Chain A
Amino acid sequence: MSLATEQASPAASRPAKPKSKRGLEQRPGLNRWLPYALLAPAVLLELFIHIIPMLVGIWMSFVKLTKFFIANWSSAPGVGLGNYKVALDFNNAVGQGLLKSFGVTVVFSLVTVAFSWVLGMAAAVALQPEFRGRGIVRTLFLVPYALPAYAGILTWNFMLQRDTGAVNHVLDQLHLTDGKTFWLIGGNALISLITVAGWKLWTFAFLTLMAGMQSIPRDLYEAASVDGAGNIRQWRNITLPSLRPVNLVLVLVLFLWTFSDFNTPYVLFGTAQPPAGDLITFHIYNASFLTWNFGTGAAMSVLLLIFLMIVTGAYLLVTGRRSRRA
């Protein structure tokens, strides 16, 4: 199976929506309610699992929802902004923990996104010209993405064990360290998180960039070659600008995914998260389910959502403005 044919695939080239009403819509009466009937199951389920819980979550963040009120939540007393005050009071333990976790997550996200993008770009460029074995390499590179997340992370967990792991073994043999490094507790936990998350994520960046490169017309490169532009200049003047719309979406998606990554810290550390690897989703999860204090957990979740919405909005605003100027 080759990826080269994917432009021929229908989803890649979505035609413009027809403006005239014809076909199925010519039948009055039936088409009035039919589309709504077709959407009903999807709407009801999205409401039940996503929209209503989100609204409930916002309500929860304003009440004192400890374990005494879980079975009888309507009697939980309101606390106004109390949960938010606790979460944002950086002089007490809860607020400090959240702030630290937020800082760790910012570093983790930025580094993981950069790491994944650079590797994905490097591989996509290397595989741009046709050569023997290209299909095999491409398929191999997709395996980390196809693997269930926990299977990959468990393997890394084993590799990062101090005494029995492959990582310390290799470092010891190369005489880079004494082979006794702790990777899953202490300060190195963040490096481990970035490596493990990046191992899966770079292949998604690769997949997206590779597909984007296929829609760059080849004569652009030929014309540049005639003009004497080398490969590096062609990459900078043709590949990068052509991939701009792809990159805009890719970087945002990678950021949103890494910022709310739960699988990697949970499978790598279990419930005993080292402070250096205390990503925010994992932090909120532990704050809620270990202490059964759902109100504070809900307030932290709402704060996370607000933060992600602000970042997304600012990102779209800044990149949109720059596009218009260009």
Chain B
Amino acid sequence: MRETRGFKIYRGVTLTVLGLFVLVPLYVMVTSSLKPLKDVQGAFSWWPSNLTLAPFVDMWKTVPLARYFVNSTVVSVAATVFSVAIAILAAFAVSRFRFRGRTVFTTTVLSTQMFPGVLFLLPLFLIFVNINNQFGLQLVGTRLGLIITYLTFSLPFSIWMLAGYFDSIPRELDEAALVDGCGPMGALWRVVLPAARPGVIAVAIYSFMTAWGEVLFASVMTTEANRTLSVGLRQYSTQTNIYWNQIMAAALVVSIPVVIGFLLAQRHFVAGVTAGAVK
């Protein structure tokens, strides 16, 4: 590509248009969160004339946002920890062992990623209800049910991406660890995992994002007790009022941790996502 005059004009126009497309909603989100309620109930204005931080204070009182926050955090952290741990074990098996059923496992697991969620939402809901009736283990309306469900959502991609990372770590390192008296698990823990740290971090962020942003299952599997942010934010629309300024403030606050995490790890993450497409 040559940077001709024409190309520079093209670049200027494209980046301006797309930049505005991306930025305007973000701008609206931030500025609306700084407006008093009456200013978001009248005609829209670009500049907040009565700047206030009140929405960031009031949003905790209008709905039990703190409880949703705790629920989302507990669910997402637990799902991430278990998902990453389970993915590490499975990826280690796929990367380091030849065994019967290896191909079947990888293709089956990856293809579950492609199923529309609504396909197993209804049966899973019914299975959970019946487990409760039979064994008294409550999975609908509890954090446990969400944790188990969410950790499987990120599992296929995590296994596949980690197996790729493990493959790129020379086997000579494992052998050296075995010579030094480590077992296979010792080699995984002492040699493979430290070398695959960027991959593990990227997979953890992916798992967390998946759980933090999930809406479909949360809308069915949660009751007031275990409601997460993704459905909890709907509670700001009441019969009488829609607290748009508080919705925007809450949306901003729940986005900041994941956006920062993603942007910090974007390099590893992007490499992992695209590796499959490029292959």
**Docked pose: A15 CA to B274 CA in angstroms:** 16
Task: Identify which of A48, A155, A211 contacts B251 (C-beta below 8 A).
Answer: A155
User: What residue in chain A is nearest B114 (Cβ atoms)?
Assistant: A256
Shortest B278–chain A CB gap in Å is: 6
Could you tell me if A11 and B129 are in contact, using CB atoms closer than 8 angstroms? no
B1 on the interface (CB 8 Å rule)? yes
Contact yes or no, B133 A152, CB < 8 A: no
Q: Which residue of A lies closest to B130 (CB)?
A: A73
Q: How far is the CA of A49 from the CA of B144 in the complex (A)?
A: 13
Q: Which of A2, A56, A119, A246 contacts B18 (CB 8 A)?
A: A119
Contact of B1 among A43, A234, A305 (CB under 8 A): A234
Residues of A in contact with B, size category: 35 or more
Could you say which residues of chain A place their CB within 8 Å of the CB of B225? Answer: none
- How near does chain B come to A256, taking the closest CB pair, in angstroms? 6
A257 to B112, CA, bound (A): 13
Contact across chains for B44 and A53 when beta carbons are under 8 A apart: no
A221 to B7, CA, bound (A): 15
Question: Using Cβ atoms and an 8 Å threshold, which residues of chain A touch B116?
Answer: 259-260, 281, 301, 304-305, 308
- Which stretch of A32-40, A83-91, A184-192 is in the interface? A32-40
Q: Which of B192-206 contact A (CB under 8 A)?
A: 196, 198-199
Check: B23 CB closer than 8 A to any chain A CB: yes
Task: A289 to B114: give the CA distance in the assembly, Å.
Answer: 23
B235 at interface by CB-CB < 8 Å: no
Q: Which residues of B contact A291 (CB under 8 A)?
A: none
A95 within 8 A of B: no
A9 to B93, CA, bound (A): 21
- CB <8 Å contact, B278 and A245: yes
State the interface size on chain B (CB cutoff 8 A).
118
- From A23-31, A96-104, A106-114, A318-326, the one touching the partner chain is A23-31
Give bound CA distance, A17 to B155, whole Å. Answer: 22
**Residue B24 at the chain A interface, CB threshold 8 Å:** yes
Q: Are B275 and A14 in contact (CB under 8 A)?
A: yes
Contacts A164-B44, A207-B270 given; does A150 touch B215 at CB 8 Å = yes
C-alpha spacing A141/B123, complex, angstroms: 38
**Residues from chain A with Cβ under 8 Å of B102 in the complex:** 35
**A54 partner residues in chain B, CB cutoff 8 A:** 115, 119-120, 123
* Set of chain B residues within 8 Å of A246, measured between Cβ atoms: 274, 277-278
Residues of chain B lying within 8 A (CB to CB) of residue A158: 28, 32, 40, 244, 247-248
Chain B interface (Cβ < 8 Å from any Cβ of A): 1-4, 6-7, 10-11, 14-15, 18-19, 21-26, 28-29, 32, 40-44, 86-87, 89-90, 92-94, 96-99, 102, 105, 108-109, 112, 114-124, 126-127, 129-130, 133, 148-149, 151-152, 155-156, 159, 161, 164-165, 167-169, 171, 174-175, 178, 183-184, 187, 196, 198-199, 209, 212-213, 215-216, 219-220, 229-230, 233-234, 237, 244, 247-248, 251-252, 254-255, 258-259, 262-264, 266-268, 270-279
9 A-B contacts (beta carbon < 8 Å): A9-B267, A10-B165, A31-B97, A42-B155, A46-B108, A71-B129, A150-B251, A152-B25, A231-B1
Residues of A bordering B, CB below 8 Å: 1-3, 5-7, 9-15, 17-18, 21-25, 27, 30-31, 34-36, 38-39, 41-43, 45-46, 48-54, 56-57, 60, 65, 70-71, 73, 119, 122-123, 125-129, 131, 137, 139-152, 154-156, 158-159, 161, 163-166, 168-169, 199, 203, 207-208, 211-212, 215, 221, 225, 230-231, 234, 245-246, 249-250, 253, 256, 259-260, 262-263, 266-267, 270, 281, 284-285, 288-289, 294, 297-298, 301-302, 304-305, 308, 312
Q: What 19 new A-B contacts, CB under 8 Å, besides A159-B28, A161-B244? A: A6-B274, A7-B271, A10-B168, A14-B279, A35-B97, A39-B94, A46-B152, A129-B7, A144-B25, A146-B262, A148-B213, A155-B26, A158-B32, A168-B44, A203-B22, A211-B270, A231-B4, A294-B122, A304-B118
